[in-house]
Amino acid sequence: MTTHAVNATTLAGPTLNLIDDVRRMLALHFMVNAFRAGAVAAVLGAVIGWFMVLRRQSFVGHTLAVVSFPGAAAAIWLGVSATVGYFAGSIAAALVIALVPRTPVGRAGGQESAVIGTVQAFALAAGALFVSLYGGFLDSVTGLLFGSFLGVSDGQVVALVVVAAVVLVTMVAMARPLFFATVDGDVAAARGVPERALSVAFLVVLGCTAAEVSQITGALLVFALLVMPAAAAQQLTARPVLGLCLSVALGLVVVWSALGVAFYSTWPVGFFVSTFGFAAYLAAAGFRLTAGHQARTVRKGRTSQVGGVATA
Amino acid sequence: MADPSLLQDSVARPDPAVRFTDATARLGGRDIWSHVDLAIDAGTFVAVLGPNGSGKSTLINAILGLLPLAEGKVEVLGRPPGESGGDIGYLPQRRSFDPSMRVRGIDVVRLGADGDKWGVPLPWGAARRARDARVEEVVDLVGAGAYAGRPIGEVSGGEQQRLLIAQALVRRPRLLLLDEPLDSLDLPNQGAVAALIAAISQQFGITVVIVAHDVNPIASALDGVVYVARGRAVSGPPEGVITSETLSDLYGTPIEVLITSDGRQVVVGQPDATSHHAGHHGPHDHGPHAGHDHTTKEC
């Protein structure tokens, strides 16, 4: 985490005075909205992403995000709010994918991934069509695909918050059975956990999240907030609650520092979000390698304590 | 339940833990087994034996209510299948956990306690403390305390199996269904896990139904055997079922049961060559018994 703070400081524009720079940014309303929207997307992406990574559904997540691109492009072409388009595209795709019989978690889903790949290719093509029908400006395409933080309106922030609240409440309700079905599907099914319904519900939740995150990172770079913080957190800890908290913290640090740096840079915000997310993942993986090595050497003396502490 | 004296009561009780009446299971239009009549007495330790693909797991799925019977009925703990919930502990055939699965063993055990409940538990409160105490208790019972805090994908197959037995036990079930718990374990671990299961069945008076390829690791502790083959099932005490006469009749082909000098049973001549024999897992079974190899056909 400190790495990002350092990055942010060193790259953060002309004055190199962190407090001054932040103050200058926050004086601008669109930057305040960008930070708000970024925070909402980061929290949502971190929580849902944690489950997505555990369920090995990253490919689905990516597709749902890509599909938000034709959704948003079509919305712009039709003169509707892009936000509506993002959600319509992702949720529709989630329902289509939900119709495909789900292969058990952890096994390579041949049929599922083929269908998902097909949906993804078609979605990108449809997006290109809508952009050209609209008479596309290159700028807007870049924004849809690689993210932009300019011009997030108050209304959009409210929409993001409302969707995030609904998604998170749903997630709180179904987190435990979903975790059970993900980790141990056979036993969960024997206990009467409605695996199929949970799977569909999670796809819709994932669609909403992908649409939400897309609006900050662009359709192609959602993984920066959906996968990287969650994957980094799972490298750092196998504890579910701690992992979720770490994931959220990493997501917030990544998105805020990226916005801050992007403000003083001409490069797209999606680049910074992805780069910082990648750095966080590398750091976490490195930490795990080191910690794992240490743990193996001292395991004999320490493991009985781990069991005791874990139940406390 | 934990009181050993209950064992006496449950043995004396007339109601069996599981009773199949003229039951037929059908999968994809094919009868897996048909007209099965059998009862598993409460508090007993029973093995389900038979060759691969004979429908042993189907029997378990029927008890769980995951597979509705095509004909006949099954009663589980006096109720229709699928209605006994927490009274049944289940360990599915597997499957080891993915090495990259970043979930601790203790989390998997906890899921057995309350994983099917909606919402998120409050981190304080008596229910939570009781659950954690119970989880700790079963983890200690199976001897998994040393590695329960590690990601389950990183512990050995035998350690995973112990954690999963703890998971199946955490709700104090009256009926424990174990589908091939000894499969894919090396010989020392097979012996240790078998001993653990036998101890659990004796100590707590739980009805234990174990699907197995090889009866020998558990033979000494068994009260009964269900033998499934060729669409039929026979049940009874081990010495009554694992005999040349009964198995020959079941298979419709001559089968010979040999008792080795160390008391191990070897079934010779059954059609499925790979599934059921004294064990090919360790040096112990080779050498002196090589002449009774399972592939020998009685011609």
Task: State residue B215's pLDDT score.
Answer: 84
The pLDDT of residue A303: 43
Residues 6+ away with beta carbon under 8 Å from A37: A149, A152, A156, A157, A160, A215, A216
Closest CA of chain A from B120, distance in Å = 6
CA–CA dist B227, B241 (Å, integer): 7
Query: pLDDT tens, B261-272?
Result: 877 788 877 665
Residue A196 near chain B (CB below 8 Å) = no
In B, which residues are within 8 Å of A193 by CB distance? 115-116
Inspect the interface and report whether the beta carbons of A240 and B139 lie closer than 8 Å.
no
Output the pLDDT for position B293. Answer: 34
Residue A192: list chain B partners with CB under 8 A: 82, 85, 116
Q: Residue A219: what pLDDT? A: 83
Tell me what pLDDT residue B276 has: 42
Question: Minimal Cα distance from B63: which residue of A?
Answer: A190
pLDDT band at residue B172 under the 50/70/90 scheme: very high
pLDDT tens-digit series, residues B66-96: 899 999 999 999 999 988 878 999 999 876 7
Distances (CA, A) of A220 to A48, A97, A292, B138: 18, 19, 33, 47
Is pTM beyond 0.90 here?
no
Judged by phi (left if over 0) then psi (alpha if -120 to 50, else beta), residue A239 lies in: beta
Q: What is the average pLDDT value for chain B, to the nearest integer? A: 82
B146: chain A residues, CB-CB within 8 Å:
303-304, 307
Which of B186, B120, B195, B130 is CA-nearest to residue B165?
B195
Q: Which residue has the higher pLDDT, A304 or A270?
A: A270
Ramachandran angles phi, psi of A137, nearest 5°: -90, 140
Closest CA to B215 of B244, B242, B243: B242
Structure confidence by residue, pLDDT tens digits, A165-219: 999 999 999 999 999 999 998 899 888 899 999 999 999 999 999 999 888 888 8
Please answer whether residues B229 and B252 qualify as being in contact, where contact means their C-beta atoms are separated by less than 8 angstroms: no
- Tell me the C-alpha to C-alpha distance, in Å, between residue B249 and each of B227, B245, B278: 12, 6, 21
CB-CB under 8 Å, B144 with A307: yes
> Which chain B residues contact residue A169 at CB under 8 A?
none
- Tell me, letter by letter, the H, E, C secondary structure of chain B: CCCCCHHHHHHHCCCCCEEEEEEEEEECCEEEEEEEEEEECCCCEEEEECCCCCCHHHHHHHHHCCCCCCEEEEEECCECCCCCHHHEEEECCCCCCCCCCCCEHHHHHHHHHHCCCCCCCCCCCHHHHHHHHHHHHHHHHCCCCCCCCCEHHHCCHHHHHHHHHHHHHCCCCCEEEEECCCCCCCHHHHHHHHHHHHHHHHHHCCEEEEECCCCCCCHHHCCEEEEEECCEEEEECHHHHCCHHHHHHHHCCCCEEEECCCCCEEEECCCCCCCCCCCCCCHHHCHHHHHHCCCCCCC
* pLDDT higher than 90, residue B44: yes
Q: Which CATH number fits domain A2-299: 1.10.3470.10, 3.40.50.450, 3.40.250.10, 3.30.420.40?
A: 1.10.3470.10
| B102: closest CA of chain A, how far (Å) | 5
Across the interface, of B85, B116, B149, the residue whose CB is closest to A177 is: B116
- The domain segmentation of chain A, as residue ranges, is 2-299
Encode burial over A140-159: b for 16+ CB neighbours within 10 A, e otherwise. Answer: bbebbbbbbbeebeeebbeb
pLDDT averaged over every residue in chain A: 84
Give the N- to C-terminal CA distance of chain A in Å, as an integer: 28
* % chain B with pLDDT above 90: 50
Q: Is the pLDDT of residue A307 over 60?
A: no
User: Shortest Cα distance from A77 to chain B (angstroms)?
Assistant: 41
